[in-house]
Chain A
Amino acid sequence: MAEAPASDESVAERLRAVLVTSGASGSWDWDIAADTLYFDEHFADLYGLTPEAGVAGVPGATFFSAIDPEDRARMKIAVAGILGGAELFSKEFRIQRPDGSVLWMHGRGQGHLDDRDRSVRFTGLLVDVTERKRTEERLRIAQSAGGVGTFEHVDGFATASVSTEFCRLLGLHPARVLPVRTINSVLLVGDKPIIPDTEQTGEPLDGEFRIIRNDDGAERWIARRGEIVRDSETSGYRFIGVIYDVTAAKQAEERLRELNETLEARVQEEIAERRQAEETLRQAQKMEAVGHLTGGIAHDFNNLLTIIIGNIDTVTRRLDSSSDPRAKRSLDNALKGAERAAALTQRLLAFSRRQALDPKRTDIARLLAGMSDLLTRSITETIAIRIHAPGDLWNVEVDPHQLENAILNLAVNARDAMADGGNLTVEAHNLVAEAGNTAAFVEAGHYVVVSVTDTGTGMTPETVAKVFDPFFTTKEVGKGTGLGLSMVYGFAKQSGGYVHIDSVPGAGTTVDLYLPRAADGEAEAAAEESVQAIELGNRDETILVVEDDDDVRTYTVEILRELGYRVIEAHDGQTALGLLTRTEQPVHLLLTDVVMPVMSGSELADRARAIRPDMEVLFTSGYTRDAIMRDGRIAPGLDLLPKPFTFASLAAKVREMLNRSVA
């Protein structure tokens, strides 16, 4: 095609042939040397020229006549390139139709050179790409809005055509063509290539890649979707596709996964906690139920014991020396049995924590000495017991029974920690705690420290941290209540003291009970022991006995009358108040049971005092739970005679109160 067209027919023929094969909108043939432009009817139609002019030829510059003024300069420069010797022409520009409409055209042409590389002809096709331009515009907007980058790679070539968005996504300098190597260089080591060097059959075309963005070094996730198409030009393959950033989705996925994982763990934790709580609640409810039961039994049992002990007492006192000594022995045995029953009841009450604390000035040395027997019996023979209490110990103000209980509890724990035997030491010493030089948990002051030390298994710090928690136990379910140490703790706190545990796993445990020193003075002995002689009453002194249990009341009234007091009685609070209102004579002492139906002992006491302000009130109870308790200690100014009481203890208590009243 290096020569000029020979005739009109041959030009038209050639143009038609080109058109048929290309399906183009129009074609041209520019003879540069002759400065003449030939074109086909479609070109003529687009330019508003006649087909005849296309065949005859028009001046070369006509090529620019229909081109939109905005594109004209650009196209003149491009054509100048061809006229100057460039080979390829591929431009997009607008043309204005005669009817005023504007079409986007893609002009694709070729410069033809002669032997001396001079341009002689410029041929090409015009394709209407208006529709494609609009589509491209939509696609471009969609791509930039959606953050989608496109690429196209021809198999066997080292470069790929890419979009601006593609470069942006990978953090590369914007370009239309990038080496495949450059594109793949943003990948984290070890990942599959974004664009494979050669066609990899079998490799999925969809993939996700981790990259280090080239411009800012950020690590991102990029997804690739694409298709392999057969390339019509090279008979090879084209890989055409898109990439987009899926980092946010990946991160969300990751967070969700983590959340799911931790959710599982959290649920498990919650369930475990819940189970623990349920177990604790169950245990607490069990203890509450047992406590109710025990308390109820103890109350009735103490009434019965009061009658039994009282009557044995009475018979014993009436035996004279001439009686059969075997009868006396039998009565003694019966009394011992009843006393043991009373002790058991006491322990049941302690166990159900429904016993009021009754603090007394206590001599620890004497208390420990008294426990020796009990400890020996409670602890197995493989364990050597040593009790050490110096004689110069200060007195402390505690409930001696509860202290015994606490020490026994600790001793039993120590025993359980020494399954294979060992040494148990219970000792006491005085301690002056000064601010700054003693353990932080102890306030400055004077204490008697009672220590229970074993050489057993010891505990980890984690266990030590929990041992005072109610219901915490290291023992098998059913073996321990989990209340032992918490009762010890509660008792120590109630008594104004502290508990401290020092434990080394494998080496043993020491529990120290810090008990505050009491004001100086003689230690109070247990009530029974303090009574040396029975002091009698006289008929001037009137006692009102209120007791709903007829047998107990009868027994109580009998004792008091035997002691010489004048006694009036009532079986409930209402009757008692009636008696107090009606009678003119003085009533010196109200002796009332605490737990009675309708009106409790304390209510009765309050209302009775309103009538007779000077009257003393003595409560008796086998079970003193809420009725007269304040914070577990008997409220100040209240006197309590625990059931079962004996002739001697009742006599002493009544006398003590009446004497106080007179004083």
Chain B
Amino acid sequence: MSTEPAVTLDELETDALTEIVNIGVSRAASNLRKMVGDQVLLSVPSIEVVSQRRAARLINEREITQLIAVRQDFAGPFSGRALLIFPEENSLELVRAVTGDELSPQEVQDIEHEALAETGNVILNSCLATMANMLQRSLTMTIPEVLRGDGAALFETRDETAADGLVLFLYIDFAVRKRDIRGYIAMLMDLPSLQALKALLGEFIERVVGDDG
């Protein structure tokens, strides 16, 4: 574990970001519900700002197997890379959930990549778009990309120069009943981007709480 991140969010900022992401996740859940046709329970995420190394460790601590991730880069007042991460073993289950159990195992395998990318896009897009919307800024996003690897690979901690970046680490529980699916959202940002995000959160709080906060 390296030193503590240089930018930390105070309690209100964390609350604000949590609520914003909550909105995003709600929208994602709403969208997924439409895709899956079944109740999707999304837990209110907890948020932490950690170093890339710490993020890798957090993931490795929780997930023993290989991971699969959907990646989308975003750019705007704050830029970075968003990752929706699942244990690899959950991947087909998720695909099966979103395709409604109508496909044969072979068909599920065939469309796995595409289905994951689409699902990831729904969730990440909901979160990032909500953030942009609530913070009254706009973000541009790249096309989703599917990656495989362990925590270190996903957070690029093996690349020494990149390992100093910070990660906004969100734990979300995709508790789809009888589906055993869970996942994480991580947003990798450099220091200036995180500072920009912090400033925007301050503005948001100012708007919402007003004078009597």
Contact = CB atoms under 8 A, between A and B. Distances in A.
Contact of B23 (A69, A84, A234): A84
A76 B208 contact: yes
B213 A72 contact: yes
B29 interface: yes
Contact of A81 (B11, B20, B43): B20
A4 interface: no
A76 B213 contact: yes
A504 interface: no
A69 B175 contact: no
A182 B26 contact: no
Contacts of A156: 177-178
Interface string B32-44: 0000000000011
B19 A81 contact: yes
Nearest to A158: B180
B81 interface: no
Contacts of A462: none
A247 interface: no
A613 B119 CA distance: 129
B181 interface: yes
Interface in B172-210: 173, 175, 177-178, 180-182, 204-205, 208-210
Interface residues of B, number: 39
Contacts of A177: 43, 46, 171, 173
A262 interface: no
B4 interface: no
A117 B15 contact: no
A81 B212 CA distance: 18
Contact of B213 (A73, A86, A117, A173): A73
Contact of A73 (B22, B44, B133, B209): B209
Interface string A148-165: 000000001111000000
B64 A88 contact: no
A182 B20 contact: no
A175 B180 CA distance: 19
Given A73-B213, A81-B19, A159 B26 contact: no
A177 B171 CA distance: 9
Contacts of A88: 22, 26, 44
A234 B210 CA distance: 41
A72 B212 contact: yes
Interface in A93-141: 111, 113, 117
A432 B147 CA distance: 92
Contact of A78 (B19, B62, B175): B19
Contacts of A214: 61
A179 B63 contact: yes
A176 B208 contact: no
A90 interface: yes
A80 B23 CA distance: 10
A85 B61 contact: no
B41 to A, nearest CB: 9
Contacts of A81: 19-20, 22-23
Nearest to B11: A74
Nearest to B45: A177
Nearest to B17: A77
A600 interface: no
Which residue among B63, B134, B180 has the maximum number of chain A CB atoms within 10 Å of its CB? Answer: B180
A347 interface: no
Contacts of B15: 74, 77-78
B130 interface: yes
Contacts of A77: 12, 15-16, 19, 205, 208-209
Interface of A: 69, 72-74, 76-78, 80-81, 84-88, 90, 111, 113, 117, 156-159, 172-173, 175-179, 181-182, 185, 214, 234
24 contacts: A72-B212, A72-B213, A73-B213, A76-B213, A77-B16, A77-B19, A78-B15, A81-B23, A84-B130, A84-B134, A87-B26, A117-B27, A158-B181, A159-B43, A159-B175, A173-B61, A175-B171, A178-B62, A179-B182, A181-B62, A181-B63, A181-B64, A182-B61, A234-B177
Given A76-B208, A84-B20, 12 more contacts: A69-B212, A76-B213, A77-B205, A81-B20, A81-B23, A88-B44, A157-B180, A158-B175, A175-B46, A177-B46, A179-B62, A182-B61
Interface of B: 11-12, 15-16, 19-20, 22-23, 26-27, 29-30, 43-44, 46, 57-58, 61-64, 130, 133-134, 171, 173, 175, 177-178, 180-182, 204-205, 208-210, 212-213
Give 8 closest A-B pairs by Cβ, nearest first: A81-B19, A73-B213, A87-B26, A86-B23, A80-B208, A182-B62, A158-B180, A73-B209
